[in-house]
């Protein structure tokens, strides 16, 4: 029997399968285990089931001599130093596919909400500012027939493109290894909506910086359901404040959560949601199942169903 440390309570029944095979410790707090706690638990563990808010770096791994497998409860695994894990012979798994539709739905919900100014409209009713039917207020942007630029045409990017077809949008996308596409500059210049779906890597860190925002249309809306660090937040605040772009809707920020008083919190025409792209019951329960399947395989020295290293 191996010892597994699961860094949060997870939805669905799949953790019972892990408990049936191994000793399982679950961190039951709402906030992540502090680094010292993660180190202490990791030091005894054969397997870790981590969240994107758990930083798994070389320093932590140095404290985990028994570790054979890390199963990350997310499709993104930028919280894990993959090279450090691989060089220590530790398998790392993620949870793709099961959250594709939920995340694409949220990206589209944000696109619609920002375009049609839903937060402002809802707030106006809440504060008693719905005086009558007004021809000129609030005036949002037309989604039907608009141009959507998708940065990162992976699983989620493709699922967003499918949804855009229903709105008869023109869809542009950046190049992938499998298909041709537009250079980023051209996509930014031509899109009414820009939706980010690339992974966070050294190459995509601050991909959307001041220069990129300046290339966007003045009415354009930026949607980010990928990772906060892909967008330079200081540059975004400026672009929203001086009208370089029309608006933004972010499900991910840097840092998460945005602390009280963070300049972005008071930026105009901005929607922020608390990283809920995959937050449907079905998607999250499937993520639990996949994370458990990955961990069970890794602990038995088998290839994980979704392993991201060799």
Whether cis (ω within 30° of 0) applies to the bond prior to 171 is no
User: How many CB atoms sit inside 10 A of residue 72's CB?
Assistant: 26
140 near ligand DGY, judged by CB under 6 A: no
Closer to ligand DGY at the Cβ: 156 or 236?
156
**Smallest distance, ligand DGY to C-beta of residue 65, A:** 28
* Residue 279: CB minimum distance to ligand DGY, A: 8
Active site residue 262: no
Within 20-59, the residues that bind ligand DGY by CB under 6 A are 52
How far apart (Å, rounded) are the C-alpha atoms in residues 20 and 107? Answer: 37
Nearest to 7 by CA among 51, 60, 64: 51
Q: Return the number of the residue (14 or 169) whose C-beta is nearest ligand DGY.
A: 14
Query: Token digits for 180?
Result: 């041709």
Q: Which of 12, 32, 76, 140 binds ligand DGY (CB under 6 A)?
A: 76
Q: Give the distance, in angstroms, between the CA of residue 202 and the centroid of all CA atoms in the same chain.
A: 16
Quick check: is 227 catalytic? yes
Query: What is the spatial distance between Cα 65 and Cα 310, in angstroms, rounded to a whole number?
Result: 19
Stretch that binds ligand DGY, among 70-78, 104-112, 189-197, 207-215 (CB under 6 A): 70-78
If you ran DSSP here, which 8-state letter would residue 1 be given?
A: -
In this structure, the number of other CB atoms found within 10 A of the CB of residue 172 comes to 21
CB of 245 to ligand DGY, least distance (A): 23
For residue 115, state whether it binds ligand DGY (rule: CB under 6 A): no
One residue of 149, 152, 228, 277 binding ligand DGY per CB under 6 A: 277
- Contact indicator for 91, 70 with CB cutoff of 8 Å: yes
Residue 190's alpha-carbon distances to 32, 173, 176, 185, 215, in angstroms, are 41, 11, 19, 9, 9
| CB of residue 278 to ligand DGY, shortest distance in Å | 3
Contact status, residue 242 vs residue 267, Cβ threshold 8 Å? no
In the list 2, 48, 69, 75, the residue contacting ligand DGY (rule: CB under 6 A) is 75
Name the residue nearer to ligand DGY (CB basis): 52 or 143: 52
278 part of the interface to ligand DGY, by CB under 6 A: yes
Q: Does the footprint of ligand DGY cover residue 74 (CB under 6 A)? A: yes
- Helix (H/G/I), strand (E/B), else coil: 220: coil
Does residue 55 have an active-site annotation?
no
Task: List the structure tokens of 197.
Answer: 């779906």
Contact between 99 and ligand DGY by CB under 6 A: the answer reads yes
From 72-80, 143-151, 179-187, 266-274, span contacting ligand DGY (CB under 6 A): 72-80
Does 149 engage in binding with ligand DGY (CB under 6 A)? no
Give dist(CA 23, CA 152) in Å, integer.
39
Q: Which residues bind ligand DGY (CB under 6 A)?
A: 52, 74-76, 99, 277-278
- Catalytically active residues are 227, 256, 275
């Amino acid at each position: 029997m191996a010892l597994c440390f699961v860094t949060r309570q997870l939805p669905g029944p799949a953790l019972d399968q892990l408990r049936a095979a191994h000793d399982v410790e679950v961190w039951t707090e709402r906030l992540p285990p502090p680094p010292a706690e993660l180190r202490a638990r990791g030091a005894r563990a054969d397997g870790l089931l981590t969240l994107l808010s758990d930083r798994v770096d070389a320093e932590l791994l140095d404290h985990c001599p028994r570790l054979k497998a890390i199963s990350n409860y997310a499709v993104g695994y930028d919280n894990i130093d993959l090279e450090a894990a691989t060089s220590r012979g530790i398998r790392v798994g993620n949870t793709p596919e099961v959250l594709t539709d939920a995340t694409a739905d949220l990206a589209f919900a944000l696109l619609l909400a920002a375009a049609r100014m839903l937060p402002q409209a809802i707030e106006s009713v809440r504060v008693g500012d719905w005086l009558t039917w007004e021809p000129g207020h609030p005036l949002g942007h037309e989604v039907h027939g608009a141009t959507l630029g998708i940065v990162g045409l992976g699983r989620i990017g493709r699922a967003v493109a499918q949804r855009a077809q229903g709105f008869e949008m023109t869809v542009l996308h950046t190049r992938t290894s499998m298909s041709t596409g537009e250079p980023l500059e051209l996509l930014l210049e031509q899109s009414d909506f820009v939706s980010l779906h690339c992974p966070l890597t050294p190459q995509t860190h601050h991909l959307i910086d001041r220069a990129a925002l300046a290339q966007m249309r003045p009415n354009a809306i930026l949607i980010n359901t990928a990772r906060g660090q892909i967008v330079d937040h200081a540059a975004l605040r400026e672009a929203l404040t001086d009208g370089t772009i029309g608006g933004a809707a972010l499900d991910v920020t840097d840092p998460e959560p945005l602390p009280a008083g963070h300049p972005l919190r008071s930026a105009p025409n901005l929607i922020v949601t608390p990283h809920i792209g995959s937050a449907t019951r079905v998607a999250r329960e499937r993520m639990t199942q996949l994370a458990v399947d990955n961990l069970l395989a890794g602990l038995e020295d088998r290839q994980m169903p979704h392993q991201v290293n060799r």
